[in-house]
Amino acid sequence: MKTAVIYGVSGQDGAFLSKLLLEKKYRVIGVSRNSKSSYFHNLKKLNIFDKIEIIVSSIQDFGNVTQVIGEYEPDEIYNLAGQSSVATSFDLPYETYESISVANLNLLEVIRMLKMPVKLYNAGSGDCFGNTYGEPATEKTSFNPRSPYGVAKAGAFWLVANYREAHGIFACTGIQFNHESFLRPDTFVTRKIVKGALAISRGRSEKLLLGNIAIERDWGWAPEYVKAMWLVLQQDQPDDYIIATGATYSLENFIETVFLELKLDWRKHVRIDPRYMRPTDIQTICANPAKAQSVLQWKAKYDAIDVARMMLKAEIASV
C-alpha cells in the first residue's frame, strides 16, 4: 500500500484527489490547518471524510512540515494548498505568496534534508503565462504573470525546477489551467454564475452582478484533472506538464450556456459591476496540452460548455 500526503485536502482538488487515491488503495493522509469538522464539507460530499487520516498542521511552518513528512514517510506528496483566488491575491499579496511559494519551499527543503525517496507534485497555474494573445502556451512558453497569485505560482514552479536539477529530487509541477466542479466555493465566478442563474430562474433574484465577462479561459472538469496529477508522479522521470483541455471559451460563452439550460436570456439579467474588475487581468489565455497527451496518455474529455452544464445539473440536484 502506497502512502500519499495531501496538503490542501479540504479544497476541491484535494477532495477529488483523495477519492481517486482511495480507489487506488492508497493510505491517504490529509493535512489541514483547520480541525473543525465543518471545514471538510467537500470530503463529506464525496463520502470519504471517514476514510482518510486528517492531521492538523501548517505547510507554512517548517517544523510542522518536517514532523509530518518524517513521521508518515510518504511515497507521494501533493501540494494543493495555498490561497487560490486570483482576485483575493490583489488584496492579500503577502499571504498569497507565502502560502504558495514559501510553503512549497518548505516541502522541497524537508525532502532534501531528510533525503527521502518521495515524489512531490506541485499544483502550478496557467496564470503564470499571463496573456498569450491567442497563442497556445506550451511548457516552454515564457512566464508573464499578471497578478500576485500568478507571481507566487511562478516562484513555486522555478523552485521545483531548481531543486529537481540541483538536488535530484523527484519534484514536478502540473501547470493547471482553470478547472471547475460542484465543489467550487461561491467566490469563484463559475459557481457564482451557476448559483445566480438558478436563483433567477426560481424567482429568488433578478440580477447577477459580474466583472469582465469578455475574458477567455480554458476551463476543464476538476475530477479529470486529479487523474493527470496522479499520472505525473507515476512516470519514471520527473518533469512538468500543462494540464488543460486545449479549448478556450469566453466567460460570456459560459454564462450563455448556463442561462440557456434554464431557458433564460442572460442579457436581461447580467449586469457589469466595476467592483468585480481586477486591477490587471488576463484577457485571453490558451493552452497546448500535447505533452500530457503524449507522455501521460491523458486527455480531457470535457470542455467549458460541458462543465457549465454539469455544474448546473449538480447545483439543481443539491437544491
Q: What would the pLDDT profile of 116-130 be if each residue is shown by its tens digit? A: 999 999 999 999 999
Read off the CATH number of the domain in which 209 is found. 3.90.25.10
- Using an 8 Å Cβ cutoff, are 283 and 153 in contact? no
**Mean per-residue pLDDT over the chain, rounded:** 95
Task: Kindly state the percentage of the chain with pLDDT values over 70.
Answer: 100
- Domain check: are 134 and 272 in the same one? no
Q: Residue 280 — pLDDT band, cuts 50, 70, 90?
A: confident
- Domain check: are 124 and 145 in the same one? yes
**The predicted structure's pLDDT at residue 222:** 98
Beta strands 216-217 and 249-250 are antiparallel
Q: How many angstroms separate the CA atoms of 289 and 298, rounded? A: 9
Written as one string, the DSSP assignment of 174-230 is EEEPPEE-TTS-TTSHHHHHHHHHHHHHTTS-S-EEES-TT-EE--EEHHHHHHHHH
- Domain check: are 58 and 73 in the same one? yes
- Domain check: are 168 and 269 in the same one? no
Query: How many residues belong to the chain?
Result: 319
Tell which phi-psi region holds residue 207, choosing left (phi > 0), alpha (psi between -120 and 50) or beta.
beta
**The predicted structure's pLDDT at residue 188:** 92
Residue 295 lies in a domain: no
If one counts the domains in the chain, the total is 2
Higher-pLDDT residue of 16, 274: 16
Q: What would the pLDDT profile of 210-224 be if each residue is shown by its tens digit? A: 999 999 999 999 999
Q: How many angstroms separate the CA atoms of 128 and 143, rounded? A: 5
Q: Which of 179, 195, 255, 231 is nearest to 12 (CA)?
A: 179
Q: What would the pLDDT profile of 60-112 be if each residue is shown by its tens digit? A: 999 999 999 999 999 999 999 999 889 899 999 999 999 999 999 999 999 99
> Residue with C-alpha cell 483575493?
88
Residue 291 lies in a domain: no
**The predicted structure's pLDDT at residue 34:** 84
- Domain check: are 48 and 167 in the same one? yes
Q: How many angstroms separate the CA atoms of 75 and 79, rounded? A: 13
Higher-pLDDT residue of 151, 278: 151
Helix locations, the chain, DSSP H: 12-23, 41-45, 62-72, 86-91, 93-97, 103-114, 148-167, 189-201, 222-232, 251-261, 290-291, 304-318
Q: What would the pLDDT profile of 235-256 be if each residue is shown by its tens digit? A: 999 999 999 999 999 999 999 9
Domain residues for the domain of 81 are: 3-180+220-247
> Which DSSP state fits 266?
G
**The predicted structure's pLDDT at residue 100:** 96
Residue 292 lies in a domain: no
Residue 30 lies in a domain: yes
- Domain check: are 49 and 84 in the same one? yes
Amino acid sitting at position 76? E
- Domain check: are 117 and 207 in the same one? no
How many CA atoms, within 13 angstroms, populate the side-chain half-sphere of residue 217? 25
Q: How many angstroms separate the CA atoms of 10 and 16, rounded? A: 10
**The predicted structure's pLDDT at residue 27:** 98
* CA 305 vs CA 36, 46, 221, 241, 316: distances in Å: 35, 24, 10, 24, 17
Written as one string, the DSSP assignment of 305-319 is HHHHHHHHHHHHHH-
* CA 319 vs CA 199, 209, 234, 313, 314: distances in Å: 10, 21, 39, 10, 9
